[in-house]
Amino acid sequence: MNILKIAWKEVKHDFRDIRTLVFMIAFPIVLMLILGTALTGAFDGGDFDDNIALDDMTVLYENSNEPIQQPFDAFTKELEKSGIHFERLSKGTNGKDQVEENQADAYLSIDEDGAKLYLNDQNSIGGSVIQGSLASFVDQYNLITEISKAAPEKLDTVLTASTDHDYIKDQTLLPDQQPGSMDYYAIVMTTMIALYAAISAAHLITQERSRHTADRLMIAPIKKSEIFMGKLIGSIAINTVCIALVVAFSIIFFHANWGEHLGLVALILLTEIIMAISFGLGLSFLFKTPTAPMPVIMIVLQLAAFFGGAYFPIGDADGLLKLMTNISPLTLENDAMFQMIYANDLSLVIPAIAMNLGISLLFLVFSTFALSRREGL
């Protein structure tokens, strides 16, 4: 009962703090509006557009394995529709040299021993397309080769079936599910502001000392563990309400897409709030003065937000940038959100929740131990 009373007191106290409420609710909403509106073009066909147009490509080939010629002709005819043109290598011409001199995008050599493909490394994307397109044919080529060795009488049946084979299959996963600028910033601003719960959490215990109410609490018939748990639950409750309002506002007024797994979204955000509050509490016990934790918290939060993609998407990174991106807890949080919402992939949900709870447990154990060592709060 004492725990619930203290928790309710914290909720009422935070609701009276207009500045905190404005910061936790209005700040992310304003950033969503500004960044989501200003960078609309970047997400709808600008720098972050994933659609890449490829020019027509030329593949030189020579084939000394006559039994394979029929399915190979069907294969090349199919690829002509995709802009990949196959030309038989002229006699006296070196296919490798043609590729090295940038006269062709690839050179394919087929004989009784197998198929060899040489790609022009100046066009890595085109080379990947050609290599991927040839994969299905090579698999079938190997099958036909084995059949011709083991049962030549069945080869005609296989070759006839091969002419009707579909070598290229286009498949799109959720083609219309691409985050727009408002969708993107609705998610990353929400996960970012959830981390800011650490700021108020750093004052949960220290404010009792600065207001000289800690002594009153200690002489009251209340255990220190009840005070600690009550403040923790109250802080989690008020921050959860703020985050829920931000999410609801983004859905109603910005039409942001939060997907169909709203329960898992809520669970990730709840565990992130617990992590942030535990982090703030832990730092308040680590430093002796009430103001000392704030610079550390602000630096950590800003770095986590920047490298976690809160202000702009971070693509493929390497070196120090990749290290900092991986360290930021928001990277895993946001990746889990986007994969769940836009690819229906839940593989990162459990790791994100486990990370949040693991960090929370670490700081809560430290805070509990530090509180038990103090004579007062």
pLDDT at site 283: 94
Q: Which of 148-157, 222-231, 249-258 has the highest mean pLDDT?
A: 249-258
How sure is the predictor about 376, in pLDDT bands with cuts at 50, 70 and 90?
Answer: low
For each of the domains in the chain, give its residue range(s) and CATH number, in order of start.
2-47+178-373 (no CATH), 57-162 (3.40.50)
pLDDT exceeds 70 at position 153: no
Strand partners, 85: 58
pLDDT exceeds 60 at position 349: yes
Q: Higher confidence at residue 149 or residue 356?
A: 356
How sure is the predictor about 336, in pLDDT bands with cuts at 50, 70 and 90?
Answer: very high
pLDDT exceeds 90 at position 149: no
pLDDT at site 199: 93
Q: Compute CA distances 291 → 197, 199, 202, 288, whole Å.
A: 16, 11, 9, 9
pLDDT exceeds 50 at position 6: yes
| Rounded Cα distance, 199 and 153, in Å | 78
Q: What is the mean pLDDT of the chain?
A: 83
How sure is the predictor about 306, in pLDDT bands with cuts at 50, 70 and 90?
Answer: very high
pLDDT exceeds 90 at position 294: yes
Tokens of 62: 């020579």
pLDDT mean over 42-69: 66
pLDDT exceeds 90 at position 290: no
pLDDT mean over 49-61: 66
How sure is the predictor about 70, in pLDDT bands with cuts at 50, 70 and 90?
Answer: confident
pLDDT at site 174: 44
How sure is the predictor about 322, in pLDDT bands with cuts at 50, 70 and 90?
Answer: confident
Question: SS3 for the chain, per residue?
Answer: CHHHHHHHHHHHHHHHCHHHHHHHHHHHHHHHHHHHHHCHHHHCCCCCCCCCCCCCEEEEEEECCHHHHHHHHHHHHHHHCCCEEEEECCCCCCHHHHHHCCCCCEEEEEECCEEEEEECCCCHHHHHHHHHHHHHHHHHHHHHHHHHHHCHHHHHHHHHHHCCCCCCCCCCCCCCCCCCHHHHHHHHHHHHHHHCHHHHHCCCCHHHHHCCCHHHHHHCCCCHHHHHHHHHHHHHHHHHHHHHHHHHHHHHHCCCCCCCCHHHHHHHHHHHHHHHHHHHHHHHHHCCCCCCHHHHHHHHHHHHHHHCCCCCCCCCCCHHHHHHHHHCHHHHHHHHHHHHHHCCCCCCHHHHHHHHHHHHHHHHHHHHHHHHHCCCC
The residue among 308, 304, 301, 303 whose CA lies nearest residue 335 is: 308
Q: Higher confidence at residue 115 or residue 159?
A: 115
pLDDT mean over 24-29: 94
Tokens of 309: 């993609």
Q: Compute CA distances 151 → 115, 144, 299, 327, whole Å.
A: 21, 10, 71, 58
74, with CB counted inside 10 A (0-12, 13-18, 19+), is middle
pLDDT mean over 315-336: 89
Tokens of 129: 């397309």
pLDDT mean over 246-254: 96
135, with CB counted inside 10 A (0-12, 13-18, 19+), is exposed
167: CB partners within 8 A, 6+ apart: 74, 75, 78, 79, 133, 136, 137
pLDDT at site 55: 65
pLDDT at site 154: 56
238: CB partners within 8 A, 6+ apart: 10, 11, 14, 15
260, with CB counted inside 10 A (0-12, 13-18, 19+), is exposed
pLDDT mean over 117-130: 70
Q: Higher confidence at residue 14 or residue 333?
A: 333
* pLDDT tens string 154-198: 555 555 554 444 444 444 444 446 788 999 999 999 999 999 999
pLDDT at site 374: 79
Q: Higher confidence at residue 316 or residue 267?
A: 267
pLDDT at site 51: 46
